[in-house]
A = this chain, B = another copy of it.
Amino acid sequence: MNGSSTPNLYLALVHYPVINKHGGVIASAVTNLDVHDIARAAATYGVRGFYVVTPLLDQVTLVHRLISHWTNGAGAAYNPQRRRALELVRTKENLDDVKADIRGNIGCQALPRTVVTSARNQRPVIGFETLRQMLDEGHPYLLVFGTAWGLTEPLVSAADFALAPVQGPTTYNHLSVRSAVSVVLDRLFGR
Which residues from chain A sit less than 8 Å from chain B, CB to CB? 1, 5-7, 21, 33, 36-37, 40-41, 43-46, 79, 81-82, 84-85, 166-170, 172-176, 178-183, 185-187, 189-191
User: Residues of B contacting A183 with CB < 8 Å?
Assistant: 182-183, 186, 190
User: Residues of B contacting A82 with CB < 8 Å?
Assistant: 174
Bound-complex Cα distance A191 to B128 (A):
11
Least Cβ–Cβ distance between A35 and chain B, in angstroms: 11
Given A43-B172, A174-B43, A191-B167 contact (CB < 8 Å): yes
Q: Are A170 and B37 in contact (CB under 8 A)?
A: no
Bound-complex Cα distance A7 to B44 (A):
28
- Top 3 A-B pairs, shortest CB-CB distance: A179-B182, A45-B168, A43-B172
